[in-house]
Structure 1
Amino acid sequence: MTPRSPHPDEDAHYTLPPPQPVFFIEQALLGALLLEPQRLADVTGISSDAFSNAAHAALFTAIRSLPAPDPAQHAKSTQWLDAVLTAAGEQTRGLTASYLHGLIQVCPWPRHASAYARMVEAEHARRLLRAAAQRLAQTAHDTSLPHPAPTSLAEADALTAVVDDIAAKFPPHSPSLPRTPTPPPATAHNNEEAIDEERLLLATATAHPDDIEHMRWLTPDDFTHPAHAGIWHCLTTLARRHAPVDPVTVLWEAQQRGLLTSGTDPTDLLDLLGAPVGSPDHWGERILQRSLLATAHHTGRRIEAFTDNPATTPYQLVVGSRRALADLSAVRSRWHHATSPTPATRRAPAKATKPPRASPPRTTAPPTARVSR
C-alpha cells in the first residue's frame, strides 16, 4: 500500500482524530492536478469551498488561479509547483514543498481526477445539508426568538433549497430511503405550559362549541398529552354531529371512546371543562405553533441523522430529506390556514338593468298630491 503523505498540521502537540475518507480523496484529486495540471479541465462543478481541509482549499484555489504549464516543461521543472506553493501559502500556513510532492505520490491515477472531484462534491453536499438541518433544529428549539414560527419556517425554506440543489447535481437512481434509524422525538420543552394551554383550550371550546367547526386546522396529533388529544377528538366529533356540547356530553363521549380508565375521577374532567378562559382560537394557535416547532425540530434532527451515516448516498439524502420535509409541510399548511386573516366576503354585483326611458321634459309643475284624511 502506498504510504500516506503527512498531514500539514501533524506537527501539532496534540493528537488529531483520524481523518475521514474524503481527506484522502481530496489528496488524490490535488495530487492528480499537481502532476497533470491539464486535468483541471475535467474537474467541473466544484469550488474551493467543497474541500473539508483549509490547506486543500488553498491549494485548489492556487491551482485554478495559475495558468497551466506546458506538460513537457512541467515534467522537467518544479517552477509551476513552486508558484502553486507560494500562492497557497498566502491563504494558509503549514504547507511545504514536501507535502505537495507527497500529494503527487499518493494519487493512484491522475486520469481519475473527475471521479475524485465527484466524490469531493458529494461529501460537500452532505456537509451543507447537515449544517442546514442543524440550523433548523436549533432555531425551532430556541425559546428566545420573538417570532419562532416564521423564523423556523425560513430555515426550513433554506434547507429545502439545499435539498433541491443536491437533487439537481446528483441525478436520481434507485429511490431507496436511507437506512438510518429515525431519532425519537425530543421531549417538549415548557411541558407544564403546554399542558395548561391544552386544558384551557378544551374548557373554552366546550364553552364556545360554535368555534370548533372552523378549527379544522387543529388535530389531536398537535397535543402533547394523549388524554387531551382524546378529549379534543370528542369535542370535534360532537360539533360535527351538531350534537349538544357541554361538560356532561363531553364526559359521556369520552366514556364511549374508552378514555375514562378505572382510576379516572369524572369530576376532574368536569372541573377541567368548566373553567373557560379566553377564546378557543387563541389557545388553538398556541398549541399548533408548539406542534409546528416540534415538527421542525424533529425534521432537522432526522435529516442530520441521515447525513451522519456515511453509507447514505446523495440521492438517498434527497429522498429522505424530502420525506421529512413533507411532514413539516403538512403542519405548515395548517399553520398558515389558522393564522391567515379570513378574506372579506365580497358582495355579488347587482344584475344590470336597462336604463329607464327618457320622459319628455315637464313644462308645468306637477300636480300637488292630495292628502286624504
Structure 2
Amino acid sequence: MPQPSAPDKDFDLDAVPPAPPVHHAEQALLGALLLDPHRLKTIGPLTPTHFASPTHAAVFAAMTDLTPPAPAVHTKEPAWITAVHARARKQAPGLLPTYLHTLVNSCPVPEHAPAYARMVRADHARRTLRAQAEHLVQAATDPTLPDPADTALARADALAAYLDELASRFPPHPGSLPRTPLPPPPERDGGDEAAYEERVLLACAVAHPKALTAMRWLHADDFTVGLYGRLFRCVAQLAHRGDPVDPVTVLWEAQHHGLLAPALPPRELLNLLATPAGAPEHWGERVLLRSLLHQTRTAGLQITAYADDPANSVHQLVTGSRRALADLSASRARWHHATHPAPAIRTPAAARAGPRPPRTSPTTTARTTR
C-alpha cells in the first residue's frame, strides 16, 4: 500500500516567519493616510525609500504623487483609494484593491500617524546603518582594492557622517548604551605572506635598530603572529634604551621575556634574525596596514551586530557605533603617522649651509628601491 507523501516544506505555511513590527507600523501609517489624506502634511519628512516593503513604498509614492481630494468629496466616495490603487499598480502590478482596505483596517488610531511615521524612519535608519557597516567590512576584506586603506577609511568617514545625521534627527533618551552581545573579534591569521613579512621585519629591525626610534607607530599587537609581535617589542625596547642590538642581544632579551620554548629554540631565533631584506619602515607599514584593516573589519562587524538587534533604538545605535569607530581611530592615527611623516624642522644655520647630501645608508637605499 503506497505511503502518503510527506508535505512539501516549501508550502508549509507555519514556516513563514512573522512580519516584523515595522510591517505593522507601515500598514498603520498607510491606513491612516488612506482614511485622511490630509495627514500627509503632519507626518514629517518621509519618502518611499523609507519603507521596508516595496508594496508599501509604491502605495506611499502614489499618495505623494496625487493631489488629495477635497474633504467633502473624500467623505462621500472612494475616489482617493481608487486613485491611489490605480497609480500604485504601475510599480506594484500585483497590488489588489482589497489590500488597501486591509491597510485601512490595520490602523488603530489615525491620529497617531506621526508616531507611525517616526517608527518607519527609525527602522529605515537601522537598515541603512547595517548596509553601511557591510560596506565597511567589505572594504576591509576585499583583496582587489588598489588602495585598501584609503577605501576603508573613506567608508568609515561616510559611516561617521551618517551617524552625525542620525544624531541630529533622533533625540537622545535615557538608557543610551546598547546591550547587544558583540561578536568575538575576527581571527588575525594573515596567512604565510603575513608571517613571512613579519619575520623579515624582525630581521630588518635588528639590522637597522635606529629606524625603530621613528617607528613608534607600530605596536606588538599589530602582528598577526603573537610571538613575532612580542619579539618586536624586545627589539624596540633595546633600541629605545640605547642598548646594543644584534641577534645575540635580542636572544638574551627574549629569554628574559620568556619567549624561548621548544617551538622557538635559540638557534632558530638567531637564524630568523640574521636574514634582513629591505627597510624596516616598508615592512612595518605592511604589518600596520593589516592591523588597520583588521580594526576596520572589527568595527564593521560590531556595528552590524548592533543594527541586527531590533531592541536597539536609533540613539543606541548611534552611541554603540561611535564607540566602535573610536576603537578604529587609534589605528588610523598611527597609520597616518607612518604614511605621512612630519617634515624635519631645519635650523637657520642648517638652512644657510645648503641642502643636505643624499643619504646612502642601506635603509635609505632599500626604501628608495621598493
Query: What whole-Å deviation, never above 9, does each CA across 1:240-270 have from its counterpart, x for those lacking one?
Result: 1111111111111111122224664111111
SS of equivalent residue, structure 1 residue 77: coil
Structure 1 residue 243 and structure 2 residue 234: aligned? no
Query: What whole-Å deviation, never above 9, does each CA across 1:175-211 have from its counterpart, x for those lacking one?
Result: 5321112212222464211111111101100000000
1:70 is matched with which residue?
Answer: 70
2:222 is matched with which residue?
Answer: 222
| 1:86 counterpart letter in structure 2 | A
2:172 is matched with which residue?
Answer: 172
TM-score (norm 2): 0.87
| 1:101 counterpart letter in structure 2 | H
SS of equivalent residue, structure 1 residue 164: helix
Structure with the higher helix share, 1 or 2: 2
Q: For the residues of structure 1 that align with 2:85 and 2:58, how far apart are their CA atoms?
A: 9
2:366 is matched with which residue?
Answer: none
Unmatched tracts of structure 2, length 5 or more: 1-9, 351-370
Query: What whole-Å deviation, never above 9, does each CA across 1:71-101 have from its counterpart, x for those lacking one?
Result: 2321221112111111111222211221111
1:285 is matched with which residue?
Answer: 285
2:302 is matched with which residue?
Answer: 302
Structure 1 residue 59 and structure 2 residue 59: aligned? yes
1:314 is matched with which residue?
Answer: 314
Bigger-Rg structure (1/2): 1
After TM superposition, the structure 1 stretch with the greater mean CA deviation from structure 2, 132-141 or 170-179, is: 170-179
SS of equivalent residue, structure 1 residue 213: helix
| 1:247 counterpart letter in structure 2 | P
SS of equivalent residue, structure 2 residue 75: helix
Asked if 2 retains the 8 angstrom alpha-carbon contact of 1:125 and 1:314, the reply is: yes
Structure 1 residue 159 and structure 2 residue 152: aligned? no
Unmatched tracts of structure 1, length 5 or more: 1-11, 351-373
Give the C-alpha shift of residue 41 in structure 1.
1.4
1:40 is matched with which residue?
Answer: 40
Q: What is the identity percentage for the equivalent residue pairs of Structure 1 and Structure 2?
A: 53
1:117 is matched with which residue?
Answer: 117
1:326 is matched with which residue?
Answer: 326
2:359 is matched with which residue?
Answer: none
**For residues 282 and 138 of structure 1, do their structure 2 counterparts lie closer, same or farther at Cα, with a shift above 3 Å needed?**
same
After TM superposition, the structure 1 stretch with the greater mean CA deviation from structure 2, 281-290 or 158-167, is: 158-167
Asked if 2 retains the 8 angstrom alpha-carbon contact of 1:175 and 1:315, the reply is: no
2:355 is matched with which residue?
Answer: none
How many pairs are equivalent? 340
Give the C-alpha shift of residue 346 in structure 1.
4.7
Asked if 2 retains the 8 angstrom alpha-carbon contact of 1:28 and 1:107, the reply is: yes
TM-score (norm 1): 0.87
Write the mapping of 1:182-261 to structure 2, written as runs, cut at 5 A.
182-188=182-188, 190-261=190-261
**For residues 14 and 343 of structure 1, do their structure 2 counterparts lie closer, same or farther at Cα, with a shift above 3 Å needed?**
farther
**For residues 49 and 246 of structure 1, do their structure 2 counterparts lie closer, same or farther at Cα, with a shift above 3 Å needed?**
same
Asked if 1 retains the 8 angstrom alpha-carbon contact of 2:69 and 2:79, the reply is: no
RMSD value over aligned CA atoms?
A: 2.0
Give the C-alpha shift of residue 174 in structure 1.
2.5
